[in-house]
Amino acid sequence: MPARRAAARADPPRARLEVEERREQLVALGMELFSQRTYDEVSIDELAQEAGISKGLLYHYFPTKRDFYIATVREAAQQLLERTATPEGMDPLERLRAGLDAYVDYVGQHGKPYAALLRSGVGADEEVTKIVDATRAAFAARLVEAAPAGAHGPLVPIALRGWVGFVESATLEWLEQKKKVDPVALRTMLMKALVDVVASASGC
Amino acid sequence: MPARRAAARADPPRARLEVEERREQLVALGMELFSQRTYDEVSIDELAQEAGISKGLLYHYFPTKRDFYIATVREAAQQLLERTATPEGMDPLERLRAGLDAYVDYVGQHGKPYAALLRSGVGADEEVTKIVDATRAAFAARLVEAAPAGAHGPLVPIALRGWVGFVESATLEWLEQKKKVDPVALRTMLMKALVDVVASASGC
């Protein structure tokens, strides 16, 4: 690796920053394009054109279209987790409500890639599946933390994971119905489902 | 139809029956193999060897491994729908209970392919996705039929589809936990979740 290290040293810090910034700009652009159309519908030519750079330069940042797509999925998952994060001191039910509002809002804004991801069109990709699974696991971990003290027993993790699937399927149906149901009504139902199912799984 | 009838006459009935029977036997064998290992783990060579036929003859029935796999998925979906079917005259809650018992039982017996299918390993395949979606739609249609008279409003279809996702995710977690929860306790929770969520979606 000495060659690589020498190359890194040779790179002035400003240039490295520019590479990082440009990469982020490209990912932001990709997220926008994939928000409107699916993976198959967006071509590398179009990506390069929209970014105002050559195809060769785009390949310099992302060796393949798949690499580029995975970077946008990773960024979207990160954003979803950040936007739905709530302050630790908050009341658990308030946290849940705020987190779900942010989730429904995010899904409403990024309906197309969200549906494509969960309906496993491109989601088949092993790397993408890993990102989706890690995101689900992060949500489940938050739920476990927020669960009331009385929530225990072997059925509780089954109920929590089931509820994550409930939220995914319900929001997909909501998108297919063109979001005609008010997001607050949807969130209220999602929230009540969690409370009920945890109570039922805990046997209380 | 006269042409078809003529062709049928030309084929000795016994031979046709044999082809059909052999195909069914191969699908049954495939289901057994895919119950224990995933698509990637089972080779065409092994399939032919287990069936006691040449690879060439296997390809005669199924041109590719994918065709063979799709035939087993289709058969499994069909079996799942048949086994979970309940008599029309039965009380709706009784029907739900019986259907869910059969579902959990089937999942418990076919854990490996069920998980592989829903976790979109090979499930990425468009044909397979169609079968999975059609099976979900068939379950959803049964639920709509069985829903109580008071269940209406725009949130109800969202709740029903959400609950199908709940059942899928909960049963996957149950499988990962090596089925240590009693199937009746699992079914009871799944059933209560449906009743609660439909009540909540109907605003009652």
| Nearest-by-Cβ selection for B192 from A174, A190, A200 | A200
- Residue B38, pLDDT score: 75
Task: Grade residue B191 by pLDDT with cuts at 50, 70 and 90.
Answer: very high
**Model ipTM value:** 0.81
Size of interface A-B (CB pairs under 8 A): 127
- Residue A8, pLDDT score: 47
CB of B199 closer than 8 Å to CB of B146: no
Residue holding tokens 């089972």? Answer: B42
Q: Please report residues of A whose CB lies closer than 8 A to that of B125.
A: 124
Residue range B50-90, pLDDT digits in tens: 989 999 999 999 998 889 988 998 998 899 999 999 988 88
Q: Please report residues of A whose CB lies closer than 8 A to that of B177.
A: 154, 157-158
Q: Which helix (H) or strand (E) holds A188?
A: helix A183-202
Task: Grade residue A119 by pLDDT with cuts at 50, 70 and 90.
Answer: low
Residue range B6-47, pLDDT digits in tens: 444 455 666 666 888 889 999 999 888 887 777 778 888 998
Q: Which residue has the higher pLDDT, B203 or A174?
A: A174
- Residue B92, pLDDT score: 83
| pLDDT of A52 higher than 70 | yes
| Nearest CA-CA distance, residue A196 and chain B, Å | 7
